[in-house]
Amino acid sequence: MQDEVTKLKPGVVTGKEYLALVRHCKKEGYALPAINVTGTNTVNAALEGAAKSKSDIIIQLSNGGAQFFAGKGIKDVNLARVIGAVSAARHVHTVAKAYGICVVLHTDHANKGLIPWVESMVEASEAEYEKTGRPLFSSHMLDLSEEPIEENLAECERILKRLAKIDMSLEIELGVTGGEEDGVGSDLDQVDNNRLYTQPSEVLQAYEKLSPIGHFSVAAAFGNVHGVYKPGNVQLRPEILKQSQKHISEIFDTDGKPLDFVFHGGSGSSPEEIREAVSYGVFKMNVDTDTQFAFSKAVGPYVEAHPKAFKYQIDPEDGTPFKKHYDPRAWLRDCEVSMAERVQQACNELGSSGKSIAAE
């Protein structure tokens, strides 16, 4: 996981290709949108939006998104989370190349109770690596920010040792990103304000413990919040990222941005806030709430334009069949187009448009 690659084959990137993509983002001063998905429609919409922007992209699943991908009819929730994530990964592997861009496959927040979910996915990647020489996923996240930092880093160390053997990366969380995502996290009122801002000393502990093992990225807290909230709830302070980069680079005599940062709770952020965070070494920004809304908002106008089609198969007044209107492919396509447009907006705001490093 160390050779630089200038142009990569389209499709899912792992190992040294993934690291080359991360380095390119930081070198060129842009970040990739990380889009949470819940089914093939949202996967395809995310890929379409990125492809139209000529941008590489990160596709990721939360535990709830993975369960939904497998189907809510599966009674064993833990099983559904695993097979849903694996199923989604195989779908992305199958179609990503056709979109002509590089795709990172990732799983989102996993707290202490979800470590078994992560370990089961690691087992799937270990089996895939043994067969093909490549893991199924590019990276996983452990969000143990609610635990004491010693326990947080000890578990991260244990999992990273497994991931490093199969060319995978680990995303960790230091400090607490406000809000909640699929049952992971806390309401803002329940979080001590100081914990909403990661301290350079915490980043130093992580760097000392994990960097000798393998690649890791840091979801640092700088006042960011999951979801969209009214202004004034918290104050974004991206300069915290700058301070952490300086702290590590001075102690270990590295380049100016040794840390690979992730921006959680990016929905609703201003373009100026995004640009500042990216300038301090953020290569990835999570986008979930805004793309959920973009997907769903297309349903209302469609139903309003074809109200009878959602009540009758055939018009009771003149016998006109409504099949072409209630066909899920019709209205779900509107949802995909709307979400793809929001992904394009994210690519523009993050500066990734036109910067795909996939070979044409």
Could you give the residue numbers annotated as active site? 108
For residue 317, which phi and psi values (nearest 5 degrees)?
-90, -45
Closest CA to 352 of 22, 90, 7: 22
Beta-bridge partners for 8: 358
d(CA 104, CA 138): 6
d(CA 218, CA 256): 16
d(CA 258, CA 246): 9
Closest CA to 91 of 59, 68, 50, 116: 59
Please name the residues in contact with 309: beta carbons below 8 A apart, sequence gap of 6 or more.
Answer: 322, 325, 326
For residue 39, which phi and psi values (nearest 5 degrees)?
-175, 180
Closest CA to 11 of 90, 127, 125: 90
d(CA 298, CA 314): 24
Q: Where are the alpha helices (DSSP H) in 8-97?
A: 15-28, 40-53, 63-70, 77-95
* Other residues' Cβ atoms within 10 Å of the Cβ of residue 352: 25
Helix, strand, coil % in the chain, rounded to nearest 5: 50, 15, 35
Taking the mean position of all CA atoms in its chain, how far away is CA 75? 26
CA distance readout (Å), 245 to 101, 150, 237: 30, 21, 14
